[in-house]
Structure 1
Amino acid sequence: MLQGFVPFPEDFAARYRAQGYWRDQSLAQEFAAVFERFAERTALIDGERRYTYAELDAVSDNLALNLLDLGLQPLDRVVPLLPNVAEFVVLYFALQKLGCIPIAALVTHRHAELNQFVQLSQARCVVYPTAVREQGGEFRFAPIVERVQAEHACLQLRLVLGEAGPGEHSLTALIAQPAKRPVADLRKVRIEPTDPCIFQLSGGTTGIPKLIPRTNNDYAYNSKVAAEVAGVDAESVLLLVLPIAHNLPLACPGIQGFLFNGATVVLHANTKPAEMFQLIAQHGVTHIKVVPALLIRLINDPAIAEAQLDSVKQIQSGGQRMQPEVRIRTRQLFRNAFVQENFGMSEGLLMFVRQGDPEEVLLETCGRPVCADDELKLIDDDGREVPDGEVGELACRGPYTLRGYFGVPEYNARQFTADGFYRSGDLMRKHPSGNYVVEGRKKDLINRGGEKISAEEVENLILMHPAVQNVACVPMPDAALGEKMCAFVVPRAGTTLTLPELVAFLQTQEIARFKLPERLELLPDFPVSTFGKVSKKALGERIAAQLSEEAQAKALAA
């Protein structure tokens, strides 16, 4: 067993096997049957490139064999920093065939995040594009990967999407060049179904993301049950524009769930509405995954007036709560589509609304669990269950919900109850229908369009600025993204600070761009709670009131 991994207790594992949730097969074994069953169907589309199930199987076999020659072994950790391209999918299945563990990093992550992932996981390999375009120019990955490699002896392999430079191997070449080994060598690889098949990332509040081990058994079931509730069948076509490694696009039901059913996945590397509308019409897309911020952009884009959207049957929204007005407007524009709100966490638990739910349930709730053996309770600060209808912290356990983060036993002791319930930090109440309503969260996070930002992580970096005496980062409301980050700063005596100066400083710390504050407020001191702690609640109310006043003043001026 991988040191630092917390397994499911044996009595619970036995129950999940008896119920048929766990099949005791690796993801590689699960998909071997899928690739054979749907061999001639189209599995994947990326621009002009198309892969049948048989071709996806063959090309991932070939890559796996070449990676085997490079020395990758079962349980080796690999960090892919790739956009929504076919190579990610090929790599993902190749790693599953080797029993390696990908870490669900994003192409938007930079040195700070990559360094943390490698340190936490002791990763042996990083995979990245040569460069990506971003605001202000082009970002090249090789320099930051070289620095991380110099700091961590465990990191031995660097794979680049494109032409290899010094110290690199070309992922493109490894996919294309015929393997020297026979495919039979892959069948000799031993993979335990109870071992992790991926490390998803938490939106943790401690400044360092936690690694979420998802096992072969639980992750396969996760995708299958999500696909069933989302109405996926062999004729379904998914348009995937959300970041490909996130739990929702990858597995809820995502790539895994659609491929389990012989469906087609269309990849696209940006969220421009006009391009999405074109792909919907071109490929007869039936399913779209969105966060509310993206859906708001889609329904307000002028191009929607001419878009052919009748093929869309389901729009799955997650990441943050959708306002009823957005759902109603979406129904008017996507005339044949069911808007399926869901609440999900990379740690496991999934809740979806269902077709046929009453109107008020669809508009007000985030759904109910997808599995009969998902166990939920809403608890107070002392761990006692609150009465139905009252707000409490969501605690959960079940056949696809983790029993512990990787390698952090002290943290796990705080985040899990003695009987194995995961304390999520999400505040909810139970609706009379049996569905659940999200009421907020205890975690100190900013939810920027579905990307969870640890306030503490950014605060720790801001505190390094010589002009900053104290800082508190809080969410501020935003019509498009739901929330953005406002940094409240108490400057040191005799100093001042502007937002461009602060952003420029944070960029030298090499964090992902989505973590940069988008407003700065200077205060002589912070409001405090009755316990003497900085009152982020008061700061949040302050910035919300300021934004409201500014909007009113702007409206009057117009």
Structure 2
Amino acid sequence: MSEPSTQDLPPVLPNGMPAEAARHYRELGLWTGQTHRDLFDSAISGRPERTAVVDRHRSLTYRELGEGMARAAAVFRAAGVGEGSPVVVQLPNSAVFLETVGALFALGAVPVFALPAHGSREVEHFCALADAVAYVGPRRGPRDLLAVADAVREHRGDVAVVTVDERVAQPWAEARVDGDVVDVRDAAMPTTRVSPASLAFLQLSGGTTALPKLIPRTHDDYLYSVRRSVEVCDVRPEDVMLVALPCAHNFTMSSPGILGALHVGATIVMAADPSPTTCLSAIEKHGVTQAALVPPLLLAWLNSPAVARHDLSSLRTLWVGGAKLSDTAARRVGPELGCTLQQVFGMAEGLVNYTRLDDPEDLVVTTQGRPMSEHDELRILAEDGTPVAPGEPGVLHTRGPYTIRQYHRAPEVNARSFSEDGFYCTGDIVRQLPSGHIVVVGRDKDQINRGGEKVAPEAVENELLAHPAVHDVSVVGIPDEALGERICAYLIPRGDHRERMPTAVELRGFLRGRGLSSFAVPDVFEVVSEFPHTGVGKTSKKDQRGMAVPERGPATD
């Protein structure tokens, strides 16, 4: 492990934290100098014959994971990847994902985590904003995902395209760099070592801007978050962790997630999809002890007949986050799944709250937890920036040892999102109980939270406005019991299309063809003649959200 030192600290770290704050967290022992490479190396050397990861096609011990990382590193070197090189990673849940990330950390490179659902427009944006030198994606899979690699080849000639097939026994021996196979027979692990204060990776943030922002995380800040999550969630070396959500999601990575499992040398089981049929079978087959879900998936599990068909007795803890969980669903977890629920309320920018394993049931089912670190600082403020009275709702602002103080290359957004003294304005409206537990009330922005995925209405509106039949569009979130919010697009047709608007299926196909993320495609399309307006003539999204579920128009399925 790297030794923490004040000598390797720039005046401002990549995450926006000043050196003074970084020194403080090191003096407290929160930042230990561990890097992500150290995390992988420790797991591989500490438990070489323990099963590290299992997917549909392969099962790797930690020793075999290290060997796969060395082969993957050889492929990335051939693609021009070296220390500090940003690489956009867009892979399905698989052992290959773990080999890829481990190899990039071993090279000192900087992964940029894209989700499989992101379209070509977003991935090209990530490549440009991060100055990526390479993109890695699957060689086989859904047509939309494969189309992203084609778009990068066509529009980003400065980005090497690496494709790999996670379904074969030797994926790195058959990987391609711009169409060519790389010789990995004598691959060796890179010797690169980087500063724990350096940029470790770029995560993605949802928001009300048209495209996701990039979140810079350092090794020191993020791995403190992982270690603290492991402690709060009681992750043990003998545990088997099911990964049902996308690997690259911040929740899946670190709360306590994949990196938490690596920290203790546990086993990771990659689910090909999050369906009850797949996941409940995997729990029984592999003796899964923990899993993480968003509320819609939890409801799917709870309501599935498969629950009665599988032995779930190994399952000890279920982490649920990404969107607010209803009290009713929360109360069903223990009796119906036979495990302990931990609610999680966090953000890729930093702050993570958990209910505790020994919390009274009422706190577990009615709150979204309390900050996991005693060093997390919270302010709950009214619209005028003054603190609210205890227990009253307000906008949550936070600062701490693992919360960023700036986005990557986004000065205008930074000016709005961070205070001069380093507090991040989350945009979440919450109230805090005397126990410190948080109850999430809503959002202070137009951002839509669809089943844990954050969607910016502006991004969807811009794409729909490109359709020749659409004169104007307003996209809002409408309440949904399972998803938290569904996406509703109100459409005003162009004059010559009023009699024949496209169907919902046609509109969805149009949006996917333009590279929009699958989770950002509206669930409901409603044709209207006009929008409600505010007193100054602006479209009143508040009125649109407050309407009852609209009558189905010709653009609705």
Considering the TM-score relative to the shorter chain, is it more than 0.5?
Answer: yes
Quote the Cα distance in structure 1 between the aligned partners of 2:513 and 2:78: 38
Quote the Cα distance in structure 1 between the aligned partners of 2:199 and 2:230: 21
- Answer whether contact 1:468 1:492 (CA < 8 A) is retained: yes
**Cα pair distance change 1:6/1:324, threshold 3 Å:** closer
Q: Aligned letter for 1:464? A: A
Q: Secondary structure at the match of 2:113?
A: coil
Post-superposition CA distance 1:179-204 (Å, at most 9, x none): 35x54xx22x2412111211110002
Post-superposition CA distance 1:502-532 (Å, at most 9, x none): 3233233121222111211222221123443
Quote the Cα distance in structure 1 between the aligned partners of 2:50 and 2:13: 40
- Answer whether contact 2:117 2:145 (CA < 8 A) is retained: no
Match of 2:510 in 1: 505
Quote the Cα distance in structure 1 between the aligned partners of 2:365 and 2:426: 23
Post-superposition CA distance 1:84-126 (Å, at most 9, x none): 0100000100001111111111122221111111111111111
Can you give the 5+ residue segments of structure 2 that lack an aligned partner in the other structure? 1-9, 166-170, 553-557
- Answer whether contact 2:208 2:456 (CA < 8 A) is retained: yes
Deviation at 1:156, TM superposition (A): 2.8
Quote the Cα distance in structure 2 between the aligned partners of 1:3 and 1:115: 28
Question: 1:79 and 2:84 equivalent?
Answer: no
Question: 1:178 and 2:190 equivalent?
Answer: no
Q: Secondary structure at the match of 1:106?
A: coil
- Answer whether contact 2:75 2:177 (CA < 8 A) is retained: no
- Answer whether contact 1:79 1:103 (CA < 8 A) is retained: yes
Quote the Cα distance in structure 2 between the aligned partners of 1:164 and 1:235: 33
Deviation at 1:169, TM superposition (A): 4.3
Post-superposition CA distance 1:254-305 (Å, at most 9, x none): 1100110121111111122122122111111110111110010111111111
Quote the Cα distance in structure 2 between the aligned partners of 1:509 and 1:3: 38
Quote the Cα distance in structure 1 between the aligned partners of 2:347 and 2:206: 10
Match of 2:178 in 1: 167
* Worse-superposed segment, 455-464 or 470-479: 470-479
Q: Secondary structure at the match of 2:332?
A: helix
Q: Aligned letter for 2:149? A: V
Match of 2:123 in 1: 114
Deviation at 1:160, TM superposition (A): 3.4
Match of 1:155 in 2: 159
Match of 2:540 in 1: 535
2:341 corresponds to which of 339, 342, 360: 339
Match of 1:400 in 2: 402
- Answer whether contact 1:159 1:169 (CA < 8 A) is retained: no
Q: Secondary structure at the match of 1:233?
A: coil
Quote the Cα distance in structure 2 between the aligned partners of 1:234 and 1:82: 26
Quote the Cα distance in structure 1 between the aligned partners of 2:442 and 2:400: 23
Can you give the 5+ residue segments of structure 1 that lack an aligned partner in the other structure? 548-558
Q: Secondary structure at the match of 2:532?
A: coil
Quote the Cα distance in structure 2 between the aligned partners of 1:384 and 1:5: 30
Quote the Cα distance in structure 2 between the aligned partners of 1:166 and 1:59: 17
Quote the Cα distance in structure 2 between the aligned partners of 1:64 and 1:106: 21
1:12-31 matched pairs, under 5 angstroms: 12-31=21-40
**Cα pair distance change 1:56/1:501, threshold 3 Å:** closer
Q: Aligned letter for 1:508? A: G
- Answer whether contact 2:89 2:135 (CA < 8 A) is retained: yes
Q: Aligned letter for 2:330? A: R
Question: 1:291 and 2:294 equivalent?
Answer: yes
**Cα pair distance change 1:190/1:259, threshold 3 Å:** closer
**Cα pair distance change 1:155/1:70, threshold 3 Å:** closer
Q: Aligned letter for 1:291? A: V
Quote the Cα distance in structure 1 between the aligned partners of 2:148 and 2:359: 49
- Answer whether contact 2:162 2:176 (CA < 8 A) is retained: no
Q: Aligned letter for 1:84? A: N
Quote the Cα distance in structure 2 between the aligned partners of 1:30 and 1:538: 50
Question: 1:145 and 2:154 equivalent?
Answer: no
Match of 1:474 in 2: 476
Quote the Cα distance in structure 2 between the aligned partners of 1:165 and 1:339: 43
Post-superposition CA distance 1:377-433 (Å, at most 9, x none): 111233222111111111111111111000011210111011110111111111232
Runs of 4 or more off by more than 4 Å in structure 1? 1-4, 162-166
Quote the Cα distance in structure 2 between the aligned partners of 1:140 and 1:213: 25
- Answer whether contact 1:81 1:105 (CA < 8 A) is retained: yes
1:54-453 matched pairs, under 5 angstroms: 54-133=63-142, 138-139=143-144, 141=146, 143-161=147-165, 167-169=178-180, 177-179=184-186, 182-183=188-189, 186-187=190-191, 189-335=192-338, 337-453=339-455
* Worse-superposed segment, 468-477 or 98-107: 468-477
Provide the alpha-carbon RMSD of the alignment.
2.2
Quote the Cα distance in structure 2 between the aligned partners of 1:61 and 1:339: 38
Q: Secondary structure at the match of 1:360?
A: helix
Deviation at 1:139, TM superposition (A): 4.1
Quote the Cα distance in structure 1 between the aligned partners of 2:378 and 2:158: 39
Quote the Cα distance in structure 1 between the aligned partners of 2:176 and 2:160: 15
2:61 corresponds to which of 52, 62, 66: 52
Question: 1:521 and 2:526 equivalent?
Answer: yes
Q: Secondary structure at the match of 1:225?
A: helix
- Answer whether contact 1:487 1:521 (CA < 8 A) is retained: yes
2:43 corresponds to which of 34, 41, 46: 34
Q: Identity percentage over the alignment? A: 38
Match of 2:5 in 1: none
Deviation at 1:333, TM superposition (A): 1.4
**Cα pair distance change 1:249/1:467, threshold 3 Å:** same
Post-superposition CA distance 1:13-57 (Å, at most 9, x none): 011101111112321123322321222222111235222222212
Quote the Cα distance in structure 1 between the aligned partners of 2:15 and 2:145: 36
Quote the Cα distance in structure 2 between the aligned partners of 1:64 and 1:16: 32
**Cα pair distance change 1:3/1:221, threshold 3 Å:** closer
- Answer whether contact 1:7 1:194 (CA < 8 A) is retained: no
Quote the Cα distance in structure 2 between the aligned partners of 1:153 and 1:5: 27
- Answer whether contact 2:39 2:262 (CA < 8 A) is retained: no
